[in-house]
Structure 1
Amino acid sequence: MTQLKVGMIQHACSEDLASNLETTINGIRAAAGQGAQLIVLQELHRGLYFCQQESVDAFDLAEPIPGPSTEALGALARELDVVIVSSLFERRAAGLYHNTAVVLERDGRIAGKYRKMHIPDDPGFYEKFYFTPGDLGFEPIQTSVGKLGVLVCWDQWFPEAARLMAMAGAELLIYPTAIGWSREDDPDEQERQRQAWITIQRSHAVANGLPVISVNRIGHESDPGGGEGIDFWGTSFAAGPQGEFLYCASTDEADNAVVTLDLARSENVRRIWPYLRDRRVDHYGDLLKLYRD
């Protein structure tokens, strides 16, 4: 397969989990109706981004994998003959939780999962309270539509994660995301942040000669702790292996876009820009250090 149609489901979320699932399913159906073979959902699409505060009650939102969401999405994948990348709050055991992306194959089975490796802990993004860092490494997931390098949100800022996925044979990089603006920042700073987010992911496409799919949510979500909340900036996008935009959604509208990737271009681009050939692995030992003092 060289031509791959990818659906990107961007939408707002509410406290109503059933309504969110219905919105997600409707988006998947719309993308499948446009010919999508692979459909990517945004990070933690079942509900609100609960990490704005630290609350033990939020652990009730977690579910096992396999579990209710993978059963529902697996049945839909089988019905529509599509591969789905979902993002879930995984309950692995009592007191052990992960931010996990799971891939549903076209026959409904779980093709594989990725547990978020880089866990942020910043105002409004208190993820270290909820998520144990992943233990599955940076391993692409083999599917009927290709070898998927699935990462999650904060992972998108780390070139090491993208490189390791590429080195393991990923054919595209996928980033389910939940990121937005603080209302305490002025418009110029907000736009600098959004552009930095776009640029770093396009750079992963360039540096690895691979397409990138990034799917974010939209809408304002208030902070239960009384803060300003987050305005999620949408901008779900697809980039080709030279970082070129193939599609970019708006900052504030729901979107069920479908974009066509030419996976054969990665081979051609890597022949022109052979980064993997010219890597000096004999001099990269210091990358294993946290910092060079």
Structure 2
Amino acid sequence: MSAGEGMLVRCVQLHSGIDPAGNLESVLTGIAEARADGVDLLVFPETTASRSDEPGTRLVAERLDEGFVAAVVAATATDRSDGPSGAPDPVGADRGGPATGPTVVVGTVESNPDGPPFNTLVAAQDGQVVAVYRKVHLYDAFSFIESATISPGDGILETFQVKGFCIGMVNCYDLRFPEISRLLADRGVDVLLAPASWVAGPLKEEHWTTLCRARALENTCYLAAAGQAGGNRIGRSLVVAPDGVVHAMAGPEVTTLTHRLSRAALDRARQEMPVLAQRRFRVDPELITRTAPAQGTPGPAPVPLPRTAHTPNPVARPAEVVDHTSRRG
């Protein structure tokens, strides 16, 4: 494949600290290096801006138009002569490389005036925010209660384009819930991004790899996942092809993972496995409300929100109902 074909993706595996200012230098350096290397899409982990290994720690929250995110967005601008405050950019401006840069996805902790902050992913392109996703499924499992310090998101799913590929985002624990990835597939996603901060534990690495492969295979899309490294996080950033094969995987250390995605391979997988067109059920995009349980206690049954009129997915035909009790033999 020539350098001009497909899309060059890089996953950056960091060991973020709790201070956004301390993490920003690493991110801006990564953006400058990606620009010089001709990377099209640069993916950082969940909570790039502020992370702690201690459950219950309140991370540093900021608005999306200030601080960490504002600096990252400014670093993606074609004109890199000014930083977010109008001063010369100390990292990105003097590193050379192409005038255009990568689309960048980072994880942050977003201020919420109505309660605890959101665990948010932001995609920035050419000096603008092009997509925001606030984590819906909070990690209340394996003795970890993320909902004690984080609010669940609003369920709004946004997509964006890079080099003719449609991109969607999920966040870490979302991988255990296939509906959200399928909703993005329904919206035409070619590449599913999964920034994560996957906590180590018995079989957790196997869960991680299995879930990433499953989400790619069942939706016949690429999946690129950037993980947090160090402490009690597993790292293991990876790129999975639409046939479920892992094409590249990192270890547990701080590193980068770069891989070129192929439009031809994507189209071929969808022709050979037309599972999206053959579906018999659709995914209802309605969110359900759920009260976070106290640690160690089962949660209440979900309460559906009021339903609104919607147009059924044209490829999701009603399933045939078969009465097996009438069969003989």
- Bucket of the pairwise TM-score, normalised by the shorter protein: 0.7 to 0.9
Greater CA drift, 83-92 or 7-16:
7-16
Q: Which has the higher contact order (CA 8 A, sep 6+)?
A: 1
Residues 213 and 138 of structure 1, relative CA distance in 2, 3 Å threshold: same
Contact 1:51–1:126 (CA<8 Å) still a contact in 2? no
2 CA distance for matches of 1:273 and 1:213?
Answer: 20
User: Taking every aligned residue pair, what percent have the same amino acid on both sides?
Assistant: 26
Match of 1:219 in 2: 230
SS of alignment partner, residue 180 of structure 1: coil
Contact 2:7 2:163 (8 Å CA) reproduced: no
Q: Partner of 1:81 in structure 2? A: 101
More off after superposition, 242-251 vs 127-136: 127-136
AA matched with 2:278: D
CA distance in 1, matches of 2:212, 2:239: 10
Task: Determine the C-alpha separation between the residues in 1 that align with 2:11 and 2:112.
Answer: 27
Q: Does 1:259 align with 2:259?
A: yes
SS at match of 1:73: helix
Q: Which amino acid aligns with 2:280?
A: R
Q: What is the CA distance between 1:2 and its match in structure 2? A: 5.7
Q: Are the aligned partners of 1:113 and 1:141 in contact in 2 as well (CA < 8 Å)?
A: no
Contact 2:8 2:41 (8 Å CA) reproduced: yes
* Count of aligned positions: 265
Shift of 1:164: 0.9
Question: In 1, are the aligned partners of 2:174 and 2:180 still within 8 Å (CA)?
Answer: yes
Structure 1 residues 82, 175: CA separation in 2 closer, same or farther (over 3 Å shift)? same
Counterparts in 2 of 1:136 and 1:15: CA distance versus 1, 3 Å: closer
1:13-32 equivalence runs, <5 A? 13-32=16-35
Which of 73, 78, 100 does residue 120 from structure 2 map onto? 100
Code of the residue aligned with 1:215 in structure 2: it is: A
**1:82 Cα offset (Å):** 1.4
Where structure 2 has 5 or more consecutive residues not aligned to the other structure, the ranges are: 81-99, 289-300, 303-329
Give the corresponding residue for 1:72. 71
Equivalent of 1:159 in 178, 182, 190: 178
Bigger fraction of residues in strand: 1
Q: Does 1:45 align with 2:48?
A: yes
Corresponding residue of 2:12 = 9
From the superposition, tell whether residues 90 and 145 of structure 1 become closer, same or farther in structure 2 (CA, over 3 Å). Answer: farther
The residue identity in structure 1 corresponding to 2:104 is I
Rounded Cα–Cα distance in structure 2 between residues aligned with 1:260 and 1:120: 31
Separation (CA, whole Å) in 1 of partners of 2:118 and 2:132 = 11
Residue type matched to 2:267 in 1?
E
Match of 1:129 among 140, 145, 148: 148
Query: Shift in Å at residue 39 of structure 1?
Result: 0.3
Q: Equivalent residue for 1:202?
A: 213
Query: SS in structure 2 opposite 1:250?
Result: coil
Please give the TM-score of this superposition, normalised by the length of structure 1: 0.82
The alpha-carbon deviation at position 123 of structure 1 amounts to 5.1
CA distance in 2, matches of 1:288, 1:133: 11
Q: 1:195 to 1:50 in 2, by over 3 A?
A: closer
Deviation at 1:66, TM superposition (A): 2.1
Question: Residue by residue, what CA displacement relative to the aligned partner does 1:4-36 show, whole Å, maximum 9, x if unpaired?
Answer: 001111021234433321122222322333221
| Deviation by residue 1:97-134 (Cα, 9 ceiling, x = unmatched) | 211111101x2101120111111223563211222221
Distance 1:247 1:74, change over 3 A: same
Could you say which structure has the larger radius of gyration?
2
Partner of 2:91: none
Aligned partner of 2:298 in structure 1 is: none
Match of 1:224 in 2: none
Contact 2:34 2:102 in 1 (8 A): no
List gaps (5 residues or longer) in structure 1.
183-188, 221-230
Q: Give the corresponding residue for 2:271.
A: 271
Shift of 1:143: 4.9
Task: Answer 1 or 2: which has greater helix percent.
Answer: 1
The match for 2:249 is 248
Q: Secondary structure at the match of 2:112?
A: strand
Tell me the SS of whatever aligns to 1:39.
strand
Deviations 1:150-171 (A, max 9, x none): 0101101111111111011111
Aligned to 1:227: none
Deviations 1:159-201 (A, max 9, x none): 111111101111110001001224xxxxxx3xx2201211111
